[in-house]
């Protein structure tokens, strides 16, 4: 089992009907960033891209 880490992730993207790009900050705990991807997508279902992250 890997050690759990705290991630701070800034996602950017367009929600349906948006004219401008929106951003959302997620603070999540997990083993790696890839394992948190589905959880963040459920919370913010925009067409997203990763702007920044910090461990």
Exposed (0-12), middle (13-18) or buried (19+): which is 53, by Cβ within 10 Å? middle
pLDDT at 6: 92
Instruction: Give the range of the structural domain holding residue 31, as residue numbers without chain letter.
Output: 5-12+22-54
36 falls within a domain: yes
Q: Choose between 35 and 1: higher pLDDT.
A: 35
Beta bridge partners of 25: 10
27 falls within a domain: yes
Q: Which residues contact 50 (CB under 8 A, 6 or more apart)?
A: 9, 10, 11, 12
Q: How many domains does the chain have?
A: 1
17 falls within a domain: no
pLDDT at 1: 61
50 falls within a domain: yes
29 falls within a domain: yes
């Amino acid at each position: 089992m890997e050690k759990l880490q705290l991630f701070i992730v800034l996602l950017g993207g367009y929600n349906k009907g948006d004219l401008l790009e929106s951003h959302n900050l997620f603070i999540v705990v997990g083993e790696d960033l890839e394992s948190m991807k589905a959880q963040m997508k459920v919370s913010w279902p925009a067409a997203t891209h990763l702007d920044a992250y910090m461990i």
